[in-house]
Amino acid sequence: MVNGKLDRNKAYDQARSGVKNILKANPSISLVLDIHRDGVREGVKLVTTVNNKPTAQIMFFNGMSRFRGTGDIDYLYNPNLRDNLALSLQMKMTAEAY
C-alpha cells in the first residue's frame, strides 16, 4: 500500500527497508524467499496429490535479468544468478525427495 492505494509496481522498493531491518536484527538468516499466492484466476487452486494427500503446487521462479535477443540487462545485474539457480535446483530436488 502506497498512500492508501495498492501499488505493486514498487512492491520490492517498499519491502526493501523492512527486509534489511529484519536481516540486520537476525544475522543468522541466510535466505529470503519471496512467496506469492497470487497470479492465478479467482477460484483456481494449485493443488496436486502426493502420497494420497492434497499438496500445494509450487514453482521456483528465477529472474534471469536478460532478454533472449539482446542479452543481459545491465541495470538488473545479479552477481548471484548462478548460485540462485543452483539453490532452486537443490530445493526442487529436495522437495521431490519428500
The 10s digit of each residue's pLDDT in 46-95 is: 888 988 999 888 888 887 888 889 988 888 888 888 999 999 999 999 98
Residues 58 and 17 in one domain: no
Residues 21 and 69 in one domain: no
Task: Output the pLDDT for position 38.
Answer: 67
pTM (predicted TM-score): 0.64
Domain that holds residue 76: 35-97
Residues 82 and 44 in one domain: yes
Cell numbers found for residue 73: 540487462
Cell numbers found for residue 95: 522437495
Residues 49 and 79 in one domain: yes
- C-alpha distances (whole Å) from 95 to each of 33, 43, 55, 69, 88 are 15, 26, 12, 33, 10
Q: Are 47 and 40 in contact (CB under 8 A)?
A: no
* Amino acid, single-letter form, for residue 24: K
Closest alpha carbon to 1 in 18, 21, 26: 18
Residues 57 and 86 in one domain: yes
* Amino acid, single-letter form, for residue 67: F
- What's the domain count of the chain? 2
Q: Does residue 94 or residue 39 have the better pLDDT? A: 94
Residues 39 and 18 in one domain: no
Residues 42 and 74 in one domain: yes
